[in-house]
Amino acid sequence: MDAKSLVADITDLASLPGVCLRVMELADDPKASAADLAEVISHDPGLAARLLKLVNSAYFGLRNPVDDLGMAVRVCGTESLRTLALATGAVTAFKDIPHSLVDMDAFWNSSVHCGLLARALGRIARLPQPERLFAAGLLHAVGQLVMYAKAPALSRQVLDTLRQDPQRRPDVEVKLYGFTYADVSGALLESWGVPESLVEPVRCHLRPGSATGFPQDAALLNIAREVTILVEPGIKIDRREPRPEPAIANPVWAQSQLVASVLPAALEQVDAQWFEVINILNPGGSLAY
């Protein structure tokens, strides 16, 4: 068994809705207009509502409210639209995963935190399209859901081992599966037709040194993931615990072209957006474990 074979027969469980796929296609089509995208999105009231809420949220920080779908598309831009379509599609695709192995609300809460932090780090690093890092962070762990669905017995062994130290997950998965959730996440995104600029950072975020096309993105995603593991449980309670220091190797910082001192500013951006964005992407989800 390998990551691709695990993904190959999961089409019924984890296929993206047609509207989301069409939005992604149009986002990649230079001839498509904002009106074309607005027309497609208008056929999915849930996606349209999420788009309007996102454009008017702290995620964009606009001064004046936007209530027109066409204007929302223009404000949002194709990269953010692709991200929104992927996010909405992924939440929908995995809505039927059994809760016996995973708390889906907690999973998406953590994923949104990782995505927002990756985006904030990308902005600080002055990447030309930091929105793709939000999508990468949001979807970096969807491979875990595939593993829960297709290999529940092995997944239980992984979870039992990780109760004391969640950072050991990659080593435990390699021992039991022969590959990691990041390999499965990358294979799933590849099967969805997602651009390599998103697939490679997701596939390589546990070992960012192996990334060749988008090494900085992979390093930034690695940092976001490591920080999220440490701070994410504390963001669901009113009283904040002191933030621990993440164990991020110096070569990863060098590859990211950032330094550790940027983390407080990046986390401040996440704090301003997190509750609002999770309510947009996963409406009705719990904000506490």
Question: Mind giving me the DSSP string for 46-84?
Answer: HHHHHHHHHHTSTTTT-SS----HHHHHHHHHHHHHHHH
* Cα distance between residue 108 and residue 197, in whole Å: 22
Residue 111 pLDDT grade (very low, low, confident, very high; cuts 50, 70, 90): very high
CB atoms within 10 A of CB 82: 24
Q: Is residue 286's pLDDT more than 60?
A: no
User: Which helix H or strand E contains 106, and what residues bound it?
Assistant: helix 104-124
CB atoms within 10 A of CB 160: 10
What the block records as the tokens of 194 is 């997602």
Burial category of 286 from C-beta neighbours within 10 Å (exposed 0-12, middle 13-18, buried 19 and up): middle
Give tens-digit pLDDT for 151-202. 888 888 888 888 777 678 899 999 999 999 999 999 999 988 888 999 999 9
* Cα distance between residue 260 and residue 50, in whole Å: 33
Give tens-digit pLDDT for 49-80. 988 998 999 888 888 899 999 999 998 888 88
| Closest C-alpha to 139, from 178, 182, 96 | 182
On whether the CB atoms of residues 101 and 150 are closer than 8 A, the answer is no
Complete domains list, the chain, with CATH: 3-14+98-281 (1.10.3210.10)
